[in-house]
Structure 1
Amino acid sequence: MNKNYSFDLSIISSELRLLLEIMKMENEDSLSTLKKELINEIDWDLFLLLVNHHRVYPLIYLKLKNIDNKMIPSRVLRILHEKYKENTLKMLLLSGEMGNISKIFTENNIRLLFLKGPVIAEDIYGDISLRTSKDLDILIPTNDISKADKLMLYHGYKREQSIVSFNNWRWMTHHVTYYHPQKKVQIEIHWRLHPAPEKEPSFDDLWKRKRVSALTTYRVHFLGKEDLLTYLVSHGARHGWFRLRWLVDIDKIIRKRINDKENISILLKEYVHYNYIGQAIVLANKLFNTPIPEEIKYISKVKLISKKAQLSYFYLVKMGNLEINQYNDSYSLIKLNLQKSFVNRYLFAMKSNIQRVFFVIKLFYPNNEDSEILKLPKSFYFLYFPLRPFLWAWRKTRKQSL
């Protein structure tokens, strides 16, 4: 392991430290090794907020329920149990809709790949109740976007944003969101795995390597092993790994691959920067004691990877703190916004040079929110460009006043 990188443990709260200690435990017997001194320092309300922020309450509950109740307040276990049951019901609901959407699209000659949701939970954890998911993410060919949009609207889904305001909206984003008010299900339809300009395989290549899930009565297609790993790594890195759930996914995948003696380096050179996979490995190893596969040990020793792992570690901790502080009525809104601005600098630093260029361009490019504030005829769309700074300022002012 690279000796040049370090993690400042002083910025970790007792609540986050306990959460990490619980996540690292591999069996019920080891739970008794928790330091009573650490548990005695815990603010359990803050602990619950962190568990919720990182979306790991199913795993935390299953481990904590086997601990002596004298160590863990019964109220905490009860709340976690309720969250666990709610998530199980949610995942069952999503599983049913996953089969339904797959059937509708397939019968209308639209190929689709599920990127996340219950099918991923079952593949990685072996149990859909062990991973959380707020929606279903599916990938379709770009040419089928309009057709898929009509199908979603016909079957009762409401589009949560306009996709027709600007002619070249597709390069500005990579998905559109739908919500079914009766079913209470949200679905994101993607035409790219990641925002442009990140390099990624074509849909046809992904389709050739697809897998079929037996989770539902109707066949469901999802990403192949290598494609799923590279997708999750890129997704987590793009978001600064600010939710531990994403790193837990990587931890579970790597441990399984090592046990099955499978090589995980295939496709990494072609579709994922080494700093992405290295960053994930360093973080997972540090936080969860994830073993580093022999064939990619050298990646974790690269200086740039070490630096980005430190940035992500800082971002992960600070974002968790911000999540908690939003529930504190005495917390200053100004201070909160300053801290958000501070940690967002780190997220910007995580981007490659070309990603930074696109990020800046998008700041000055009109979007659907601008068209919602000021309705203009299509022939006057060009006015959104010079008006963009004023519309942005108006939108921010309105949010502050709410």
Structure 2
Amino acid sequence: MIDKQPIIDTSQSKELDFLLTLLREENKSEEIIPSKEINWSYFLKLVKHHRVCPLVYLKLKDTPDAVPSNVIEALFQEYKKNTFKMLQLTGEMETLDKVFKENDIETLCLKGPPVAYDLFGDISLRMSKDLDILVREEELEKAESILFSLGYEKEEISTVLNEIKWRHHHIAYYHPNKKIQVEVHWRLQPRPMKRASFEELWSRKRESQVTKHPISFMGKEDLLLYLISHGARHGWSRLRWLKDIDQIVRKKDINYKYFSELAIKHQQKHLVGQAFQLAHLFFQTPVHKELQSIVNTKRANQLGGKALPFIKEMIQFHVHSQPKSLEKSYKNYLFSIKTKRQKCYFLIISFYPNSLDERTFRLPKSLYFLYFLLRPFLWSWRKLKKPVLF
């Protein structure tokens, strides 16, 4: 159980309340009766934003008298589109894994079809737009060459002094003909978050049977911790990520003693606390006794409260430019979920030059090292909204 201390502002719209009713594990289709005051257009917008169309469609498809037919049809179209996409991703994932293995590159699938099948028993019930794979950092260039040979194109990222290795943790590749994006990771999370080594994760891997060719993906405890840290970094702005947590807790035999040790080892116990606070609030997700001391803390409660506005207001981070107030709010949130050590490391990394410095004051590549000295001044210059220097 979770202590009664409430997360800040648990009020929500009728549409969100109905959506949560549909997503909760214990609620059956025949028990679902929506309010007559529901704005169905806004409800559909909520469902699409939170990427839970397949789950909602399956709950509503047999309730034609309770829900407008156009809502059912819209959800069916999203469900059908996602099914085709997941089948396409499954085929491409199998192809890529075979090619990587032929070239002696071990890969771990982080999300996508294997996780959908593992959590829901059906790849069509979890929405995915791309493939995410993890490789050893020293094999990154080799993996990239293979993707190029298969027709993939690399995402254009401006970089100075190889800053991408310090500020990022994956690179995206896109196949223009297949319309498929593959993200190749060399870290599970960006710095300064602590990471498990590839060898650690590989030693605990499982084999997915979603295809005839076995696909390697993370062990149960590693996957749960990864899903939590990933959702936390994105402010839990999509309910799908919390539903994943609910699903894995209810469906999998998790070794919670070992899991809590992993969370402590990787300095993520506060994120675990936040995740279970939110999952219990929205889905009544059970909290194992081994996690009580991690979940029932003031900090977990506070971090849960900070994520609530991102969930309720359908914030879309990393999709398009946001108002400065929202960007500031998200940056403050990201800083708040770091440990004290991570905050110190983050501030050190902030002195590493980036492409904005190059655009602000251009130097020949032979003098790029001077950006380390110039960065504080260039950052201050940009804050004053001065024009770009040439």
Could you tell me the TM-score, scaled by structure 2's length? 0.87
User: Do the aligned residues in 2 keep the contact of 1:370 with 1:392 (CA within 8 Å)?
Assistant: no
In structure 1, the residue matched to 2:61 is 65
User: 2:69 is matched with which residue: 66, 74, 83?
Assistant: 74
When the two chains are superposed, the root-mean-square deviation of aligned CA atoms in Å is 3.0
> SS at the partner of 2:256?
coil
- State how far apart, in whole Å, the 2-side matches of 1:381 and 1:390 are: 19
User: 2:342 is matched with which residue: 337, 344, 355?
Assistant: 355
1:195-344 counterparts in 2 under 5 A?
195-257=190-252, 260=253, 262-269=254-261, 270-318=265-313, 320=314, 322=315, 336-344=323-331
In structure 1, the residue matched to 2:4 is 3
**Deviation sequence 1:306-353 (CA, Å, 0-9, x none):** 2112222233223x1x45xx99xxxxx99x543443454334322223
User: 1:95 is matched with which residue: 87, 90, 115?
Assistant: 90
Structure 2: which amino acid aligns with 1:310? G
Distance 1:107 1:370, change over 3 A: farther
- State how far apart, in whole Å, the 2-side matches of 1:65 and 1:171 are: 47
In structure 1, the residue matched to 2:21 is 21
**Deviation sequence 1:120-171 (CA, Å, 0-9, x none):** 1001111000001111111111110111111111211110034874235312
**Deviation sequence 1:340-370 (CA, Å, 0-9, x none):** 4345433432222333344445555433566
In structure 1, the residue matched to 2:365 is 378
In structure 2, the residue matched to 1:169 is 164
User: Do the aligned residues in 2 keep the contact of 1:370 with 1:391 (CA within 8 Å)?
Assistant: no
Distance 1:394 1:220, change over 3 A: farther
Identity of aligned residues (%): 43
User: Do the aligned residues in 1 keep the contact of 2:53 with 2:79 (CA within 8 Å)?
Assistant: yes
Distance 1:277 1:268, change over 3 A: same
Which ranges of structure 1 fall in alignment gaps of 5 or more residues?
328-332
Structure 2: which amino acid aligns with 1:153? F
User: Do the aligned residues in 2 keep the contact of 1:233 with 1:276 (CA within 8 Å)?
Assistant: yes
> SS at the partner of 1:266?
helix
Query: Displacement, 1:377?
Result: 4.1
Query: Displacement, 1:86?
Result: 0.5
- State how far apart, in whole Å, the 2-side matches of 1:170 and 1:30 are: 52
- State how far apart, in whole Å, the 1-side matches of 2:360 and 2:150 are: 29
Distance 1:79 1:29, change over 3 A: closer
Query: Displacement, 1:272?
Result: 4.8
User: Do the aligned residues in 1 keep the contact of 2:52 with 2:127 (CA within 8 Å)?
Assistant: yes
- State how far apart, in whole Å, the 2-side matches of 1:112 and 1:154 are: 18
Distance 1:348 1:390, change over 3 A: closer
Structure 1: which amino acid aligns with 2:310? Y
User: Do the aligned residues in 2 keep the contact of 1:121 with 1:127 (CA within 8 Å)?
Assistant: yes
What is the aligned length? 380
> SS at the partner of 2:257?
coil
> SS at the partner of 1:265?
helix
Residues 1:44 and 2:10 are matched in the alignment: no
- State how far apart, in whole Å, the 2-side matches of 1:280 and 1:228 are: 14
- State how far apart, in whole Å, the 1-side matches of 2:140 and 2:28 are: 48
User: Do the aligned residues in 1 keep the contact of 2:110 with 2:134 (CA within 8 Å)?
Assistant: yes
> SS at the partner of 1:215?
coil
Distance 1:369 1:389, change over 3 A: closer
Residues 1:144 and 2:134 are matched in the alignment: no
User: Do the aligned residues in 1 keep the contact of 2:116 with 2:122 (CA within 8 Å)?
Assistant: yes
> SS at the partner of 1:187?
strand
Distance 1:345 1:142, change over 3 A: same
Distance 1:364 1:125, change over 3 A: same
Structure 2: which amino acid aligns with 1:299? I
Higher share in helix: 1
Query: Displacement, 1:3?
Result: 2.6
**Deviation sequence 1:209-233 (CA, Å, 0-9, x none):** 1111121232211111111111111
Structure 2: which amino acid aligns with 1:189? V
User: 2:112 is matched with which residue: 117, 120, 129?
Assistant: 117
**Deviation sequence 1:164-204 (CA, Å, 0-9, x none):** 74235312211111000011110111111111222222111
**Deviation sequence 1:222-258 (CA, Å, 0-9, x none):** 111111111111111222211111110110111113x
In structure 1, the residue matched to 2:150 is 155
